[in-house]
Structure 1
């Protein structure tokens, strides 16, 4: 019997879930329908840094998810022959001004090499050595280099995986979908029924679930980044690392002629996707602090998107309380490109009733974020 599974949202979680549903041993008996209007999707506007190992976040479950998510993402890239313009293990550098803080960062990186091979090599760098790794820099602090770090083009990633899945069992409806009070999918007043529904709706999760008697802890945060044209570096064919400079916005060289700066974190803008000139100027100034002769003339484009956060910044995923046929993943915030692939894989397995034994290593109880209201 054919199993009908719906996915609402085609970002990092939804596209990865679709990919794994297409790779299941019984994929020919699984019919997957994705609903996605693409509006404001965080994945498409994300800066694209995959480097969780030097984070000092105290949420151990988050770190487990991020660490294993980075490993899974590298595996997906290998398994799907992902081109380097999508996933590029270029390495990452994090800088610190204070020597004690730099040593602390370096010691943390060395400690975490024992927990995962994906982190790669760890090297402490002087300011001049940082500039050797990233020749377009004119100014730098000392830093720590991690060879396993990567950059990911979120928009290309989602298209890559959806194109694989479409050849097997995925169809896509490019329209906005939500749930009605029966827990079925509603699109333009037309109702659809499925055996399982995967909600991968990011910041829109509360809105998608609003017809159901649930309290949902999500909030929207706007992110804006800029893309700049830069002068090519003479005699340099280096695959430059991503730079996470202390006190400045993330600095992401792409090839030898493009540079991405950002993204911002704007709690008060929510779902507003308009370009904020003040944020653009702030990001430009961040680039100017590192590279001479950067100006507005270098600006190629500005991108905006909306992330979903929870009050304690923790992710949530699993079965929606009171609705055993509805699965959800969200609250990933700015680490979505790192944690989203693993959440997508977990939700795909849960939708097929496959055993997922290590869920509690990665999450707090979902009732911390989605609660069934008492009548």
Structure 2
């Protein structure tokens, strides 16, 4: 008889888990139901840059997870035949204004290449060379070009992964669910038992685990980004994404569209209202590099809620107290990079069993759950 799996949360982890439960060998024998009411989902509002290799974060577990996550996305893009408006390996440019900082970053890039061949080519660019590759810019800065970097549309990626999984073994239900004290899904009409449940509900994890007497060390963070209309250069579809020092990410999408963001608001909690202050902050950041931009260029504003752990690191795995339950949360701003790998790891352990050792990617789950 087919095993029944429920996934709570249709963001980057939940959608990736659903996709891999449908595509990994043996997964098609599993019946999967995903529940998500769509409110506040960070991935739906997210567009981002996949380029973790030059991060200065000292957390080596996070770096290993992000590095392998970038590789997972490259493979996923080929396997799922993702369109370039979902995932596009355009390369990324990371800028520095100080000459010594730029040199140090270039040295770091060369060192990281040895352990991360998926970085691709690394080039040191002058401000003029940066502008040649990104003619949208009027005030370029010198930087490092990494050819393996990519831009990604989170909402479009989730939609595509779920659509492909639905053709195999996935049912999607747009509703909110709760758990009872035994880990069963609770509905107004009664409870329903699943053999396994993946809880990938971001900052809402605490609400779901409360009936089990478990508290998760996660908090919500509001993020806002803006989409702007810009000149449609013939090369824009293949323009690199820009990670400027001290400013917001600058992501050309092609066809005269530009994404700038995102903000990090720790005080707003689950508030999903777009604010003029955040929009102006993002616009001011964009104008540092493209001074012709005005409020009239803003065509869209998106808001979502991320989950952050106490040490800013993702955590995921099976609950010892309730072995049928698996959780994932705390991805923060790196969710588009790390989420697909986490989803694949969770799907793999459901299909193949065992107790995999993920200590190279995360601290013990008990560090985040009490």
TM-score, normalised with respect to structure 2: 0.97
SS in 1 for 2:10: coil
Instruction: Please report how far the alpha carbon of residue 351 of structure 1 lies from its aligned counterpart in structure 2 after TM superposition.
Output: 2.0
Structure 1 residues 289, 196: CA separation in 2 closer, same or farther (over 3 Å shift)? same
Instruction: Please report how far the alpha carbon of residue 223 of structure 1 lies from its aligned counterpart in structure 2 after TM superposition.
Output: 0.2
Instruction: Please report how far the alpha carbon of residue 256 of structure 1 lies from its aligned counterpart in structure 2 after TM superposition.
Output: 4.2
Instruction: Please report how far the alpha carbon of residue 209 of structure 1 lies from its aligned counterpart in structure 2 after TM superposition.
Output: 1.1
Alignment-derived partner of residue 330 in structure 1? 329
Alignment-derived partner of residue 20 in structure 2? 20
Equivalence map 1:363-374=2 (5 Å): 363-371=362-370
C-alpha contact (below 8 Å) 1:27/1:168 kept by paired residues: no
In the alignment, the residues of structure 2 paired with residue 183 and residue 8 of structure 1 have an alpha-carbon distance, to the nearest angstrom, of 12
Structure 1 residues 322, 236: CA separation in 2 closer, same or farther (over 3 Å shift)? closer
Instruction: Please report how far the alpha carbon of residue 20 of structure 1 lies from its aligned counterpart in structure 2 after TM superposition.
Output: 0.9
Structure 1 residues 307, 189: CA separation in 2 closer, same or farther (over 3 Å shift)? farther
C-alpha contact (below 8 Å) 1:88/1:150 kept by paired residues: yes
Alignment-derived partner of residue 47 in structure 1? 47
Unaligned runs of 5+ in 1: none
Equivalence map 1:106-117=2 (5 Å): 106-117=106-117
Structure 1 residues 237, 275: CA separation in 2 closer, same or farther (over 3 Å shift)? closer
Equivalence map 1:123-142=2 (5 Å): 123-142=123-142
Instruction: Please report how far the alpha carbon of residue 190 of structure 1 lies from its aligned counterpart in structure 2 after TM superposition.
Output: 3.1
Structure 1 residues 129, 63: CA separation in 2 closer, same or farther (over 3 Å shift)? same
Instruction: Please report how far the alpha carbon of residue 204 of structure 1 lies from its aligned counterpart in structure 2 after TM superposition.
Output: 0.9
Equivalence map 1:152-301=2 (5 Å): 152-233=152-233, 236=235, 239-301=238-300
Instruction: Please report how far the alpha carbon of residue 217 of structure 1 lies from its aligned counterpart in structure 2 after TM superposition.
Output: 0.3
Instruction: Please report how far the alpha carbon of residue 325 of structure 1 lies from its aligned counterpart in structure 2 after TM superposition.
Output: 0.5
Alignment-derived partner of residue 311 in structure 2? 312
SS in 2 for 1:162: helix
In the alignment, the residues of structure 2 paired with residue 190 and residue 299 of structure 1 have an alpha-carbon distance, to the nearest angstrom, of 46
In the alignment, the residues of structure 2 paired with residue 47 and residue 238 of structure 1 have an alpha-carbon distance, to the nearest angstrom, of 15
Instruction: Please report how far the alpha carbon of residue 200 of structure 1 lies from its aligned counterpart in structure 2 after TM superposition.
Output: 0.7
C-alpha contact (below 8 Å) 1:198/1:351 kept by paired residues: no
C-alpha contact (below 8 Å) 1:225/1:264 kept by paired residues: yes
Instruction: Please report how far the alpha carbon of residue 150 of structure 1 lies from its aligned counterpart in structure 2 after TM superposition.
Output: 0.4
1:115-164: CA deviation from partner (whole Å, max 9, x where unpaired): 12211100011111110110110001110010000011111111111111
Higher mean Cα deviation, 327-336 or 247-256? 247-256
C-alpha contact (below 8 Å) 2:236/2:253 kept by paired residues: no
C-alpha contact (below 8 Å) 1:217/1:310 kept by paired residues: yes
SS in 1 for 2:119: coil
Give the alignment's Cα RMSD to 1 decimal.
1.3
1:71-99: CA deviation from partner (whole Å, max 9, x where unpaired): 00110100111110101001111111111
Unaligned runs of 5+ in 2: none
Structure 1 residues 285, 326: CA separation in 2 closer, same or farther (over 3 Å shift)? same
In the alignment, the residues of structure 1 paired with residue 96 and residue 35 of structure 2 have an alpha-carbon distance, to the nearest angstrom, of 43
Alignment-derived partner of residue 57 in structure 1? 57
C-alpha contact (below 8 Å) 2:236/2:252 kept by paired residues: no
In the alignment, the residues of structure 2 paired with residue 238 and residue 327 of structure 1 have an alpha-carbon distance, to the nearest angstrom, of 39
Instruction: Please report how far the alpha carbon of residue 25 of structure 1 lies from its aligned counterpart in structure 2 after TM superposition.
Output: 2.7
C-alpha contact (below 8 Å) 2:121/2:146 kept by paired residues: yes
C-alpha contact (below 8 Å) 1:346/1:356 kept by paired residues: no
In the alignment, the residues of structure 2 paired with residue 231 and residue 28 of structure 1 have an alpha-carbon distance, to the nearest angstrom, of 46
Count matched residues.
Answer: 370
TM-score, normalised with respect to structure 1: 0.96
* Structure 1 segments (4+ residues) deviating >6 Å: none
SS in 2 for 1:20: helix
C-alpha contact (below 8 Å) 1:320/1:370 kept by paired residues: no
